[in-house]
């Protein structure tokens, strides 16, 4: 069904009836940016109850304006260097991959991350979509990665498991990741952007599904939520941008890593609703320059991830991730020496994560 190709106005969004905000004190919104955050005005009714973590990319002397009334912490490159010291090397610069610093510094159980060129989408009836609320619903209901349900999310009101769905699998598994979509400007690579400059996504698919175990997907970081406790340490957005041979693969890298780890640990990854309204296409020529190595590297990286096997001893996300870094070093450095550096950065990331996120008992001085 076709949704209108315009975003909701602030007034339309304000008029949506709202209940108490879900998980108010358990979720941070992470926004990477280089500009003033006027876009938050459009999200005010949905985001204002939550704490924001703003990761300022680029020149740290620039001041980022945040609309009044939002509760936030802002970290620029100087802050990141101060907090992480030499380990700051694992956080990308001049690339939205820097957002993963926000995942690390958060103390909450859940993260929602959104780009600053994303606005409130409407469904085909014109109703503004509360993307965050839908992500939370996705995260709080189980996933079904082991068998496909032809009516999609079986836990949704009005749906269920269909005939032939094994009863032993109907409890589902915990959901670690909720991947949302985009109306208007679709998330295309540079070649597709160049070939289809005017294509817009107006199709509103009213559906959430679990991506089956063993299946990889292209995870986009534009509109993404996850459970830090379940998968946080694997949500590393890699080395991109300044000084690196590649860009625009930060979320893809994280997507491949989280998927194989979720599959190994028996956790769920959902995709589908909610939509945001993606307002403007990035420059396809600039994108092509950032992407072109990724476009051929991925032809070898994806078979690598499809074949990854994690040993039984990997019982935590950290252990899985360290093991994955070893396999990256061993198997992908023949693709390019970059992967050697990336494998090291994966280890640094885990060290930094563990430093900032000590087990609660220890952090409290208890044992």
Checking DSSP bridges between strand 268-278 and strand 118-120, what pairing results, if any? antiparallel
Q: How many CB atoms sit inside 10 A of residue 293's CB?
A: 17
CB of 242 to a copy of itself, least distance (A): 21
HSE on the CB side for 67, CA within 13 Å?
A: 12
Contact with a copy of itself (CB under 8 A): which of 72, 152, 304, 338? 152
Using rule CB under 8 A, residue 6 touches a copy of itself: no
28 three-class SS: strand
Kindly state the DSSP code that residue 91 receives in the 8-state scheme.
S
Q: What angle do CA 112, 120, 216 make, to 5 degrees?
A: 50
Distance, CA of 275 to chain centre: 14
Shorter beta-carbon distance to a copy of itself: residue 86 or 164: 164
Shorter beta-carbon distance to a copy of itself: residue 82 or 148: 148
Q: What angle do CA 51, 52, 56 make, to 5 degrees?
A: 160
3-state DSSP of 296-334? HHHHHHHHHHHHCCCCCCCCCHHHHHHHHHHHHHHHHCC
Contact with a copy of itself (CB under 8 A): which of 196, 283, 337, 355? 196
* Number of residues engaging a copy of itself in binding (CB under 8 A): 60
Shorter beta-carbon distance to a copy of itself: residue 33 or 298: 298
Using rule CB under 8 A, residue 252 touches a copy of itself: yes
- x/- mask, a copy of itself, residues 200-239, rule CB under 8 A, reads xxxxxxxx---xxxxxxxxxx-------------------
Shorter beta-carbon distance to a copy of itself: residue 306 or 358: 306
Q: Which span sits near a copy of itself by CB under 8 A: 7-15, 290-298, 325-333, 350-358?
A: 290-298
158-170 burial, b at 16+ Cβ within 10 Å, e below that, comes to: eeebeeebeeeee
Chain position carrying tokens 């340490």? 233
Binding residues for a copy of itself restricted to 111-130, rule: CB under 8 A? 123-125
Using rule CB under 8 A, residue 302 touches a copy of itself: yes
Residues in CB range of 307: below 8 A, 6 or more apart: none
Contact with a copy of itself (CB under 8 A): which of 29, 55, 90, 181? 181
Using rule CB under 8 A, residue 338 touches a copy of itself: no
User: Can you give the binding site for a copy of itself, defined by CB under 8 A?
Assistant: 1, 123-125, 147-152, 158-168, 179, 181, 186-189, 191-192, 196, 199-207, 211-220, 248-249, 251-252, 255, 271, 291, 295, 298-299, 302
């Amino acid at each position: 069904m076709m949704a209108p190709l315009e975003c909701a106005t602030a007034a339309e969004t304000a008029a949506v009836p709202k209940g108490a905000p879900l998980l108010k004190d358990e979720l941070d919104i992470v926004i990477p940016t280089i500009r003033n955050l006027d876009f938050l005005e459009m999200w005010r009714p949905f985001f204002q109850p939550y704490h924001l973590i703003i990761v300022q990319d680029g020149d740290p002397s620039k001041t980022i304006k945040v609309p009044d009334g939002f509760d936030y912490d802002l970290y620029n490159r100087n802050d990141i260097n101060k907090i992480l010291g030499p380990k700051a090397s694992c956080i990308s610069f001049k690339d939205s991959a820097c957002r993963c610093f926000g995942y690390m510094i958060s103390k909450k159980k859940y993260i929602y991350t959104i780009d600053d060129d994303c606005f409130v989408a409407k469904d085909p009836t014109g109703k503004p979509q509360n993307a965050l609320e839908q992500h939370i619903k996705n995260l709080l209901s189980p996933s079904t990665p082991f068998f496909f349900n032809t009516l999609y999310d079986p836990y949704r009101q009005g749906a269920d498991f269909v005939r032939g769905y094994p009863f032993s699998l109907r409890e589902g598994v915990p959901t670690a990741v909720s991947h949302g979509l985009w109306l208007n400007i679709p998330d295309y690579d540079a070649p597709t952007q160049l070939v289809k400059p005017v294509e817009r996504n107006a199709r509103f698919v009213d559906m959430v599904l679990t991506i089956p175990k063993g299946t990889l997907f292209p995870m986009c970081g534009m509109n993404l939520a996850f459970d830090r406790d379940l998968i946080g340490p694997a949500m590393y957005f890699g080395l991109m941008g300044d000084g690196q041979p590649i860009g625009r693969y930060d979320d893809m890298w994280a997507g491949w890593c989280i998927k194989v780890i979720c599959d190994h640990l028996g956790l769920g990854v959902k995709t589908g609703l909610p939509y945001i309204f993606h307002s403007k296409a990035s420059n396809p020529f600039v994108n092509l320059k950032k992407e072109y190595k990724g476009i051929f590297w991925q032809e070898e990286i994806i078979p690598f991830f499809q074949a990854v096997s994690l040993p039984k001893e990997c019982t935590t996300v950290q252990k899985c991730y360290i093991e994955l870094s070893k396999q990256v070093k061993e198997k992908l450095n023949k693709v390019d020496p970059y992967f050697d550096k990336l494998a090291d950065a994966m280890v640094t990331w885990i060290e930094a994560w563990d430093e900032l996120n000590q087990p609660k008992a220890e952090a409290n001085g208890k044992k």
